[in-house]
């Protein structure tokens, strides 16, 4: 009774200026603020950690020989399988507050190991260390981000995901900008080697965010303790069950198809980017500046949309239509490029597509996982976000030279990509309808019962 009185009294308290400002940007309830801020900071540190070492990876990849990049991408696919098996084993054995920090600290130990190898090995051996580092980083970036969003899908409900995931994504965008800025500013002063340790520090700070995350948003102490005991039990299952569930579930297969088509069309667009930029610019410096300007436009547009529009789109349009915006834009963009492959049109399409993915499609895609079982949130999702994504990347990379061999130029490739984007559009709408149905009729099992979001306690539990 005392707790209920205190909760009602808190609801009557006028929100502070900071709270009113936050609520203008995102539809957040007072009890969700701590979780929202921690999620924002968590994603900031994750992306900062990656973008600090991303330029180092690209430099090492180039030093290892451009002709060897296809082999390194193949090595990345194989490494993804191993990483998924190791992570699934952690999910089987430990609670989420333990297996997430353990996974991150494994990568931290890897960063320290690369630091020591590059410090102690002769210079002529660095090219081999660099190739391994390229593969490792390609696994690292997808994996740590996938684990982050799995945790978000686990702790937030579908309704919360629609309202909050867009704003949370702003933290990642800012983290990417800060991480890249730190490398650009410090690499000449401290050297790329020491930046590996800075990346490790950022990753450890993200692990601490998991430890500090609230157990529940509201309810009595007894209800919170009961929920904490249920949610922090090891998920169990098999090491390969994520892959098996992906193959057996039409819903998860649909998400696999969505990811494949996104990655394939992205790679085809990348090859178009290389071709059209090479013909438009003969000076490498001008070409680099051109791409840097696109990156700046994408980052600015992404932050604005994430902060003020994404949550509202998900609330107004629903998951399916919001998810379908990017493939619809791609159908229009590829068709337009096929008809008129100009530099101006290419820049507009590339900027809108990249910003649309980061700001709209990614948060909407993560909401899809709020309705699956806890085991699938961590195991099946990890496999989709890492292996399936890289497989689509590989298919796109292999398809582009094949299309060139058939004599298709920019126009022909665009007209091949447009119907692929149309299929992607239809899959998005189907996933949206399926997600709504599953949200209303969640899977009934002991494991899924433990997977209720943090604010989903019944009225009886809250009244304890």
Percentage of the chain modeled with pLDDT above 90: 42
Q: Of residues 8 and 272, which shows the higher confidence score?
A: 272
Q: Are 133 and 57 in contact (CB under 8 A)?
A: yes
Q: What are the tens digits of pLDDT across the range 160-212?
A: 999 999 999 999 999 988 988 888 888 888 888 899 999 999 999 999 999 88
Q: Are 443 and 376 in contact (CB under 8 A)?
A: no
142-180 core/surface letters (b: 16 or more CB in 10 A; e: else): bbbbbbbbbbbbbbbbbbbbbbbbbbbbbbbbbbbbbbb
With CA atoms as reference, report the closest residue to 148 among 411, 362, 304, 294.
362
CA-to-CA distance for 97 and 212, rounded, in angstroms? 9
- Would you state the pLDDT for residue 286? 67
User: Which among 142, 49, 104 is positioned nearest to 390, based on CA atoms?
Assistant: 142
Q: How far apart are CA 183 and CA 125, in angstroms?
A: 24
pLDDT tens figures, 48-86:
999 888 877 766 655 555 455 566 667 777 888 888 888
Question: CA nearest 279: which of 341, 350, 214?
Answer: 341
In terms of pLDDT, which residue wins out, 460 or 323?
Answer: 323
What pLDDT, on a 0 to 100 scale, did the predictor assign at position 464? 30
pLDDT at position 340 is 87
User: HEC string of the chain?
Assistant: CHHHHHHHHHHHCCCCHHHHHHHHHCCCCHHHHHHHHHHHHHHHHHHHHHHHHHHHHHHHHHHCCHHHHHHHHHHHHHHHHHHHHHHHHHHHHCCHHHHHHHHHHHHHHHHHHHHHHHHHCCHHHHHHHHHHHHHHHHHHHHHHHHHHHHHHHHHCCHHHHHHHHHHHHHHHHHHHHHHHHHHHHHHHHHCHHHHHHHHHHHHHHHHHHHHHCCCCCCCCHHHHHHHHHHHCCCCCCCCCHHHHHHHHCHHHHHHHHHHHHHHHHHHHHHHHHHHHHHHHCCCHHHHHHHHHHHHHHHHHHHHHHHHHCHHHHHHHHHHHHHHHHHHHHHHHHHHHHHHCCCHHHHHHHHHHHHHHHHHHHHHHHHHHHHHCCHHHHHHHHHHHHHHHHHHHHHHHHHHHHHHHHCCCCHHHHHHHHHHHHHHHHHHHHHHHHHHHHHHHCCCCCHHHHCCCCCCCCCHHHHCC
* Whole-Å CA distances, 250 to 180, 253, 427, 435: 39, 5, 11, 12
User: What was the pLDDT predicted at 444?
Assistant: 47
pLDDT, greater one: 444 or 395: 395
Name, of 236-240, 255-259, 449-453, 459-463, the range with top average pLDDT. Answer: 255-259
Banded pLDDT at 258 (limits 50, 70, 90): very high
Q: What is the mean pLDDT of the chain?
A: 82
The residue with greater pLDDT, 73 or 377, is 377
pLDDT computed for residue 284 by the predictor: 53
Rounded Cα distance between 436 and 425, Å, is: 17
Given this model, what pLDDT does residue 1 score? 45
CA dihedral for 107, 108, 111, 113, sign (positive or negative): negative
pLDDT of 281 above 60: yes
Residues 396, 417 contacting (CB under 8 angstroms): no
Give the integer Cα–Cα distance in Å for 270 and 254. Answer: 24
Q: What is the pLDDT of residues 88-126, one digit of tens each?
A: 888 888 888 889 999 999 999 999 999 998 888 876 677
Of the candidates 309, 34, 274, the residue with the CA atom closest to the CA atom of residue 169: 309
């Amino acid at each position: 009774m005392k707790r209920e009185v205190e909760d009602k009294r808190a609801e009557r308290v006028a929100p502070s200026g900071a709270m009113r400002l936050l609520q203008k940007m995102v539809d957040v309830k007072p009890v969700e603020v701590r979780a929202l801020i921690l999620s924002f900071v968590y994603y900031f540190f994750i992306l900062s950690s990656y973008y600090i070492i991303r330029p180092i990876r690209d430099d090492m990849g180039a030093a290892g020989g451009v002709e060897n990049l296809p082999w390194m991408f193949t090595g990345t696919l194989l490494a993804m399988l191993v990483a998924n098996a190791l992570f699934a084993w952690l999910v089987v054995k430990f609670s989420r507050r333990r297996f997430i920090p353990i996974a991150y600290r494994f990568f931290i130990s890897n960063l320290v190991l690369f630091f020591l190898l590059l410090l102690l090995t002769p210079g002529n051996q660095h090219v081999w260390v660099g190739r391994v580092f390229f593969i490792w980083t390609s696994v690292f970036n997808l994996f740590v981000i996938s684990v982050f969003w799995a945790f978000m899908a686990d702790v937030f409900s579908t309704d919360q995901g629609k309202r909050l995931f867009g704003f949370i994504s702003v933290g990642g965008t800012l983290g990417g900008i800060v991480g890249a800025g730190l490398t650009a500013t410090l690499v000449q002063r401290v050297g790329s080697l020491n930046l590996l340790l800075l990346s490790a520090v950022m990753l450890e700070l993200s692990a601490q965010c998991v430890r500090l995350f609230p157990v529940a948003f509201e309810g009595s102490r007894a209800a919170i303790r009961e929920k904490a005991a249920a949610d922090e039990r090891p998920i169990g299952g098999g090491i390969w069950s994520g892959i098996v569930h992906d193959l057996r579930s039409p819903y998860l297969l649909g998400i696999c198809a969505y990811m494949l088509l996104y990655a394939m069309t992205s790679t085809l667009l990348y090859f178009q980017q290389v071709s059209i930029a090479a013909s438009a610019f003969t000076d490498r410096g001008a070409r680099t500046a051109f791409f840097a300007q696109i990156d700046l436009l994408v980052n600015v547009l992404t932050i604005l949309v994430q902060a003020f529009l994404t949550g509202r789109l998900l609330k107004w349009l629903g998951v399916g239509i919001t998810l379908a915006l990017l493939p619809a834009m791609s159908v229009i963009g590829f068709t337009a490029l096929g008809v008129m492959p100009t530099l101006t049109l290419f820049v507009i399409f590339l900027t809108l597509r990249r910003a649309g993915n980061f700001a709209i499609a990614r948060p909407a895609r993560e909401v899809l996982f709020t309705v699956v079982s806890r085991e699938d949130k961590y195991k099946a999702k990890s496999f989709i976000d890492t292996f399936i994504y890289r497989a689509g990347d590989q298919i796109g990379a292999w398809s582009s030279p094949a299309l060139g061999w058939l004599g298709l130029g920019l126009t022909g490739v665009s007209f091949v990509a447009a119907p692929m984007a149309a299929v992607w559009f239809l899959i998005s709408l189907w996933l949206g309808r399926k997600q709504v149905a599953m949200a209303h009729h969640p899977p009934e099992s002991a494991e899924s019962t433990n997977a209720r979001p943090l604010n989903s306690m019944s009225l009886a539990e809250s009244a304890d």
